[in-house]
Amino acid sequence: DKIKQFTHQLTLQLDKFDFIKDNCNKIGVESGVIGTAVLGLLIFFVVIDFGAKIITDVVSLVYPAYASFKAVESPDPDDDKQWLTYWVVIGCYSIADSFLDIFFFWVPFYFVIKLAFVLYLALPHTKGAVYLYDKVVKPFFLKN
């Protein structure tokens, strides 16, 4: 039941893109079903550590870049804050990760944890980037 709800919500989101909607209609499959399958496959690859780094890097860059473009083009300033803080936080995280990667690489399911963290930062309904910016990054930069 939860998977059906997720698939339905994903269909609503993916059908906003004419390219995806038109191609899914041609093959006769809902875009949410294909999206769920692709998402499941990507999670599987991350769990078995097959292409996990590239998958987490793409997730941390592609959707946020697209959403940032949409935010810049919209008249609402609130979404600008979401994405500007995302880029500040992900930048700080990337610098720390590049130094600490040699230690964290040995942690089991490191890329699963990293992917979950990046999704927490990027997804607008979690507002993870705004939270970390307000609680960690901003106080640190104000002190230094």
Question: What does pTM read for this prediction?
Answer: 0.75
Cα distances from 64 to residues 74, 103, 105, 120, 123, in angstroms, run 15, 27, 24, 12, 9
Question: What proportion of the chain, given as a percentage, has pLDDT over 90?
Answer: 37
The pLDDT tens digits of the residues spanning 19-59 come to: 888 888 999 999 989 988 988 888 888 888 788 888 888 88
> pLDDT tens digit string along 93-119?
999 998 988 888 788 888 888 889 999
Give pLDDT, residue 51.
86
Q: Which stretch of DSSP H or E encloses residue 82?
A: helix 77-104
Query: Is the pLDDT at 17 greater than 90, yes or no?
Result: no
Would you state the pLDDT for residue 20? 87
Phi, psi of 80 (to 5 degrees): -65, -45
pLDDT at 138: 95
Residue 124 CA: distances (Å) to CA of 1, 40, 48, 81: 24, 21, 28, 11
pLDDT band for position 15 (cuts 50, 70, 90):
confident
DSSP assignment letter at 137 = I
Q: Given this model, what pLDDT does residue 9 score?
A: 87
Of residues 13, 12, 34, the one with CA closest to residue 23: 34
Structure tokens at 65: 């870049």
* Structure confidence by residue, pLDDT tens digits, 73-82: 999 888 888 8
Is the model's pLDDT at 63 over the cut of 90?
Answer: no
